[in-house]
Structure 1
Amino acid sequence: MTNMKTMKKEQLMAELEVMEKRVSELEAKLGETGETIFRGADKYRKLLESLGDAVFLFRVPDGVCEYFSPSVTEVFGYTAEDFYRKPFFLMDIIHPDYFDYCKEKWQELLEGAVARSYEYKIIDPKGKERWISQSNRGITDQKGRLVALEGLCRDITASRQTEATLKESERKYRHIFEVLGEAVFLVDRKTGYILDANRTAAELYGFSVAEMLGNRLADISAEPDKTVLALKSATKQTLQLHHRKKDGSLFPVEATVSYFTQKYRKVAIVAIRDITEREHAEEALRESEARYRRLFEENVAPMLLINPDTGRIVDANPAACRFYDYSKEILRLKMIDDISILSREQILRDMERARKRECGHFYFLNRLANGEVRDVEAYIGPIEIGGEQLLSFLVHDITDRKRMEEELVKAQKLESVGILAGGIAHDFNNLLAAILGNVSLAKLNLPSDDPAYEKMNQAEKSCLQAKELTSRLITFSKGGGPLRKKVMVAPFLQDTVAFFLSGSNVRCEFEFPDFLWALEIDVGQMQQVVRHLIVNAQEAMPEGGTILVCADNVHLSSEEVPSLKEGSYVRISFKDQGVGIPREYQSRVFDPYFTTKPMGNIKGAGLGLAICYSIIKKHEGHLTLSSKLGAGTTFTLYLPASPDVSASFSQ
């Protein structure tokens, strides 16, 4: 205290500047830590550890292994320690047939020629041969000298064996495939015995027709259980199996099973197609367009046939008509870009990729007849029908799945921020307490008309703002669960909104039913939610406007709203007349620290909506938004209700 009294004004100002600089550094550190630590090393470490391929880094020219990802054991059969322990360990396990080849590749590497990829065989610890595919990339120093080799190694033994089997099968049965028709069996559904078989079937399997009549269909199947289940099924189905010929060799088939009754005997018609060669399968598919039509019409998933050159919808199955809410006649008049929000150029580009089989799996946003936009997953592949080359679209609605995934990601982000904020915010509060104490002491020793006195006031105000920020951060830390008490919704909303709109150029209108269920909430926390939503609405309407606050009772079924259990809820919405939120920002508005406002002040800290989301989650509720540019934004929250207690609006 004595030292404070004897300090000069210049010393006090210098001390204050040091303190303010410390606060700024801590704020910057707080922001950068969340961004860097959680989105940096941990992200890429997990990525490397989850790869099925082995990621490596070798030094050049001494061959020392600097790094091998955990998948090295799965790929090579050896541990990373085996490679770390001895330089050029890889050369010790190379198959003798490929030793010279790999040695030549290493020599080329030393000469500066880095092969992008090559394949070789090794001997694993059990003495078995493995095929390895290696992709490489050279690393050079500032002088352009090659100093290291990095890349991926993949075990391709299975694919090599499959390739060899396919080649052998092609060599042995090429002549049969060239004249192959479709093998057909008539099978007793009850016993599974073959009642009849055509000549093509006899030629395909190597049996005579008479020999086949003494066997069951399961006898020529390598997967008899699947075959038996298929025969017993009550519906037509198509499945892929492996069948066995008379000589014992296996081959893949596509079996289409349908049924009819013959003289009181239930008979299955089993049409077998050898699908060893996809071209033969496609030719057989063109010959059986009628069968495809039945599959198309009866499929429970939406299916579309599209002309890839024009984008015109050629056909749609009943499931697609139900999904898009158009009749088949209307859909046939539309183009694919009429139901997709992508540009026509992007859609045609994706369809061209699908036609060339470069990619068959896509994610789109589709628009329904009522204007609703849904996330869809589409499997697209080429098909020829009636001599016309088309694309078949198999569509799955994944809107609810994506929402649930987004909810999980949000929860994980909040949990991560809470762990970080819980520790840092408390330490930060301690520092702020010391600063505030010193500022208060300094003010006691200054007359109110001293120029430095106003500086002290500004410093004190900044510290209090920083303290408010730390209180927001503590909201994310573990603990701090809601202290619930039962409240009536209408009076609570009216009083809270009126308080936060006091003196504002924005007015509020309320729409409540005659009766609303009561809520069990933490009043203080829920007031924070209302405050942040009201402030957001005010900032969206700087020239003034109207906020519409609505509430009603709803009973939700399971999975009707992501992350909410079945039960009774009060739904509350806040709708403004602002400019709206761009679509690209809507998925991020609840992220901690995300903001489009200027940083460097409390308003732009990016925590308001994240705090709202966290509080609603702690109340076992849900918070969502809908927004359209130029039409305003609506925030909707669901809170578990107490249906046994209700209150009239007048109360």
Structure 2
Amino acid sequence: MPEQTKVLIVEDLPTDALLVEHEVREVLPESIFLVVETAPDFLAALDSFQPDLILSDYSMPEFDGLSALKLALEHVPDTPFLIITGSINEETAVKCMKAGAWDYILKERIIRLGTSVLAALERRKERLEKRSAGEALERSERLFRNLFEQHAAVKLLVDPDTAAIVDANQAAAEFYGWSRDQLKAKHIPDINTLPPEQIKSNMRKALIEHCVSFEAQHKLADGTLRDVEIFSSPIQSGNKTLLHSIVHDITSRKKAERALIAAKELAEAANIAKSEFLANMSHELRTPFNGIMGMMQLLQTTPLNEEQQEFVSAAIESSKRFTRLLSDILDISSFEAGKATLTTSEFNPVEALESVMDLFALRAREKGLDLDMTVDPAIPRNVLGDVTRVKQILFNLVGNALKFTDKGSVHAALTPLSAAKGGDLRIMFSISDTGIGIPEDKLGNLFKPFVQVDGSYTRPYQGAGLGLSIVKRLMELMNGNGCVETVVDRGTTVHVVLPFTLPAGDAAKTAQAAAPGVRKEHLNILLAEDDSLNQMFMTHVLKKLGHAVTVANNGQEAVDLFLAGDFDCILMDIQMPVMTGVEATKMIRLQESEFRSQKSEDEDGTSEKRHRTSGPQVSGLSLQPSKNPPPSPHIPIIAVTAHTQPGDREKFLAAGMDEYLGKPVGMEDLDFILKRFFGDPQADGAR
């Protein structure tokens, strides 16, 4: 209600006008009043004064209340008009109300005027608000109708109760190929290929959630199916709730998505094929190469003149270079495929560095270089991490330093740094050389695969340029980082910082560390190997080391010989005919378990004699129980395999094997690992 209400009084008696004004001021103290008594003055006041309320006497000499009412209805129909009279009969009162008066007040009951005025003004406010809302609704409906009719998007109005199409715009008619009238004669199931129950469910969801989107296929007039995305929301149309649905043609998008999915599946299949190819190629290359390299090692143990010894040494060195290159290529492939993994165990970082330095001691002496290392006393004795990956990083860094240094020295240093987030300690491995250095403009390509600082055909340094790329990938895999300091013709230092966890206590040991057994110098060994050249090499090596050898040509033979013989150790190839090395290992471990269980029951006297018609089952193959118990509760089984991709070692150990040797196998590696299992104190622990 306005703070100042403008009240127009139509009255010929000043005293009565003052009385009316007094009563109104009681309820509207801030009111403004204007009194008129003739028709011209009344019309002028309607235009200039624009009253909020009109109070008119009924009987006046020149102008009566009924005439004033008619003029007010013509000019200001929404302004409350109250008639005030001294005497009025019922017939006149009804006539005034029918004519449009809002109320009438008798002068003898003028005290009612204030209440009636307030009620009239409230009714006026409600009428204006309702009219405003109606006009806004009408404008909104006109706007919606215009947008619906003229919009370029395909639009439908749908009855959610019957699924009938109530209306469709011109864009819908053009899209579907039916006229608007034809579309309005259809129901949604006529154009939507979804099951009717699914259509109803989508409509219910749109009503509840107010706006939903879903995908479907819509049928056009010519029978064509199009992929569509539908956005649906409820709108009120009169007293009926309809669904306003906007239909987008996404056929091209869905086609592109399907093509992308197909391409992704093809890429994944290609990646799997690549991994399988690399695994097979690794096996196929390493298996014959193990025989070649093995025979060269055997030849080296025979009487040779100086020239022959030189030829054999060169062949062995070339074989080692080939093996390292093959391993590097497989590592890069694993990184690219996202399959590189870490294996955590407890190890001594100083011993890890020493073992790498020992590998290069001979090469350093041959080049006349000093090869040494310094270790900060604060370096802990043991840490938890992937010792194999750490050695791989150090091997590449030390090897690179020696390769590019012709005089001077190569120096390695271990330095402890502050604790890193997620670990207890960071260790910095620094490899420094006095070699050729690296030009500044070449540093950006230093860690890229198959790239060398000197990429010309005549470069004096051999290699495929994979070493530092592998170092970078391994650093990232282990959440480490590094940097390079270099001066051309003066040398290079590579710093690698890796995080490690400290063991819980001194008693913590590597979960898979092999415990030495009874000390024995001459072993009875079962060799499971299907390749004849590798059989020859391994047999000769083992016999030279003082051991007896029995050969099994496949996994099934290995199991049969194990059950029939008395062996100290099994060297198990993986990829063999008839039965794989993994299947054979599982059978042997299961048989050992059977014997231990039987022995335990026999010792406590609680078991009944068991009768069996067949033995344990592994991978669909049966194992007949042995009449003779195995020589020990647990025979060491060592995988000797060309499967050398990341994760292979862990897979074989999980299958029941105790250790792992990758082909090609060196004589010293084979001797070392056998001594670990049979009590040589010098070979205890990982090398």
- Fold shared, TM-score > 0.5 on shorter chain: no
Structure (1 or 2) with the greater strand fraction: 1
Q: Give the number of the structure whose alpha-carbon radius of gyration is greater.
A: 2
